[in-house]
């Protein structure tokens, strides 16, 4: 008999739930906006999340998806992937003491600057201290929202499994996002925890570790789960999603084309990374080291959202059969103001050429990232593309041309949630259920 697994993706913009049957693949999926507060309520801010609201929303989604597609078979295991640095404090009963600070919140600028000036250990942690890092948030909370010593920090992504199991934990790939975790030693650095005035931290768990079983509650009452349902550690969305490609092709390089482009791979060698390469821990292979680099892809292309009779310039290019590469006049830089001025002077045909050149320039950034990864110990594995932008055939052909290599496109739109479901079920053989297409120049 097949088993049913649930994967959750706690994203910056949306939360997603998918149910995966280990024989049939994805049988149901649900998504809704991430339930951020929406308005300031000091000391909370509009982008904060009320963790109990998140739990209730996810339970609604799981129950709804299960009732629609499961045929009454209960979910065997659940795991979550998601944002790296959203977090908050809980009491001994796992009840939230604060709202969850969004990873992109910059309230900890002062704290990050102080930590960076006095305690730079990026050679060990793979990360510099920035306002988005968890360590800076810890120090801000200690200075502005002091709590009893018994308060424990929870990552928002880990909280659903922790709450349902009644056990605190921190997924290792989220521990690596704190800027206090030794990537090689696989442990927190006490000096940095002290400097950041870190609260009590839960035990670190590798992806795939069972943290507990479902406690009685709404989910058991619905029949979607039982008290035998396993709650499993997942982790940071990028390595969780990339683990799916690695299952299909060990050594794969994953180009995630979402709001930001993240090019991710794993290294066996200890070669020092190039500047800008982020080091982390992988999901599947404890002996390897994860390395990736980020490029603001969507922000770079936003200048091409110029209205046209059929919609906008960028949308028309992406939906076309091909993107012209005839070398027409184009700006010499990727500066948005320069692009906008050139587009303002151009006729429709020339505007398409300018837009195509920007898409080429953005892909050349990717080529540079691939070169940096290669120089940082990454072998030349197959290149997989995921994310919303990868759905454009024309863009994928352009990128295959510029990168001079085929691009393997994974058809699953919710790869982080799918990867979490794979981790929950410990079933690497689910990856053949995915549709993968090869796109060449």
Residue-wise pLDDT for 181-204, tens only, equals 999 899 999 999 999 999 999 999
Residue 67 in domain: yes
Query: In terms of residue numbers, what domain contains 133?
Result: 4-237
User: Has residue 120 been placed in a domain?
Assistant: yes
- In 10 A of CB 355, how many CB atoms? 26
**77 in a structural domain:** yes
Domain membership flag for residue 68: yes
Average pLDDT over residues 281-288: 85
Residue 249 in domain:
no
Model confidence pLDDT, tens digit, residues 75-124: 999 999 999 999 999 999 999 999 999 999 999 999 999 999 999 999 89
pLDDT of amino acid 426: 80
Task: Dump the DSSP string for 129-171.
Answer: --TTSHHHHHHHHHHHS---TT-EEEETTTHHHHHHHT---EE
E strand spans, 218-354: 230-236, 253-257, 261-267, 278-280, 289-295, 307-308, 311-312
What per-residue confidence (pLDDT) applies to 431? 67
Percent of the residues in the chain that have a pLDDT greater than 70, as a whole number: 96
Q: Are 154 and 90 in contact (CB under 8 A)?
A: yes
- Better-scored residue on pLDDT, 286 or 382: 382
- Answer yes or no: is 337 within a domain: no
- Check residue 143 and give its pLDDT: 95
Residue 117: Cβ within 10 Å count: 9
pLDDT digits (tens, 9 = 90+) for 285-326: 878 889 999 999 999 999 999 998 888 999 999 999 888 876
C-alpha triplet 170, 175, 180: angle, nearest 5°: 140
Q: How many percent of the chain have pLDDT more than 90?
A: 71
Q: Is residue 30 part of a domain?
A: yes
Predicted confidence at residue 205, as pLDDT, reads 97
Q: How far apart are CA 181 and CA 289, in angstroms?
A: 13
Q: What CATH number corresponds to the domain at position 151?
A: 3.30.420.40
Q: Give the other-Cβ count within 10 Å of 218's Cβ.
A: 15
**pLDDT at residue 359 is higher than 90:** yes
Number of domains in the chain: 1
Q: Average per-residue pLDDT in the chain?
A: 92
Q: What is the mean pLDDT of residues 329-348?
A: 77
Look up tokens 């683990």; give the residue. 243
pLDDT of residue 49: 97
Lowest mean pLDDT among 50-54, 91-95, 244-248: 244-248
State mean pLDDT over 127-148.
Answer: 94
- The two structure tokens encoding residue 362: 């953005």
Confidence of residue 360 (pLDDT cuts 50, 70, 90): very high
- Is 263 contained in some domain? no
Residue 334 confidence (pLDDT): 67
């Amino acid at each position: 008999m097949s088993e049913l697994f649930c994967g959750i993706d706690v994203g910056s913009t949306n939360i997603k739930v998918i149910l995966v049957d280990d024989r049939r693949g994805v049988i149901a999926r649900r998504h809704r906006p991430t339930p951020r507060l929406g308005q300031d309520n000091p000391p909370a801010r509009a982008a904060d999340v009320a963790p109990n609201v998140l739990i209730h929303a996810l339970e609604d989604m799981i129950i709804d998806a299960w009732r629609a597609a499961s045929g009454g078979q209960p979910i065997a295991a659940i795991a979550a992937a998601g944002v790296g640095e959203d977090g908050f404090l809980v009491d001994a009963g796992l009840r939230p003491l604060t709202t969850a600070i969004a990873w992109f919140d910059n309230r900890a600028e002062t704290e990050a600057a102080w930590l960076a000036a006095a305690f730079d250990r990026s050679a060990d942690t793979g990360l510099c201290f920035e306002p988005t890092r968890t360590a800076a948030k810890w120090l801000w909370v200690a200075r502005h929202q002091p709590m009893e010593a018994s308060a424990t920090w929870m990552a928002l992504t880990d909280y659903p499994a922790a709450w349902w199991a009644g056990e605190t934990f921190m997924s290792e790939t989220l521990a690596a996002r704190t800027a206090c975790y030794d990537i090689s030693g696989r442990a927190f650095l006490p000096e940095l925890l002290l400097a950041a005035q870190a609260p009590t931290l839960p035990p670190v768990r590798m992806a795939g570790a069972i943290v507990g079983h479902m406690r009685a509650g709404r989910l058991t009452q619905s029949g979607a789960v039982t008290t035998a349902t396993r709650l499993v550690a997942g982790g940071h969305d990028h390595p969780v999603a990339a683990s799916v490609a690695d299952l299909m092709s060990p050594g794969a390089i994953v180009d995630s084309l979402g709001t930001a482009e993240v090019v991710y791979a794993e290294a066996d060698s200890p070669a020092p990374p190039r500047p800008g390469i982020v080091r982390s821990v992988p999901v599947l292979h404890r002996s390897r080291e994860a390395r990736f680099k980020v490029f603001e892809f969507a922000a770079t292309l936003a200048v091409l959202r110029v209205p046209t009779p059929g919609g906008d310039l960028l949308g028309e290019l992406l939906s076309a059969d091909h993107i012209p590469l005839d070398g027409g006049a184009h700006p010499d830089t990727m500066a948005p103001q320069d692009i906008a001025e050139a587009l303002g002077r151009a006729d429709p045909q020339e505007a398409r050429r300018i837009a195509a050149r920007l898409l080429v320039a953005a892909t050349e950034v990717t080529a540079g990232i691939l070169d940096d990864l290669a120089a940082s110990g990454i072998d030349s594995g197959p290149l997989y593309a995921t994310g919303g932008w990868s759905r454009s055939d024309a863009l994928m052909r352009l990128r295959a041309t510029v990168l001079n290599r085929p691009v393997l496109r994974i058809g699953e739109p919710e790869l982080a949630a799918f990867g979490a479901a794979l981790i929950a079920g410990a079933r690497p053989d689910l990856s053949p259920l995915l549709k993968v297409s090869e796109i060449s120049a």
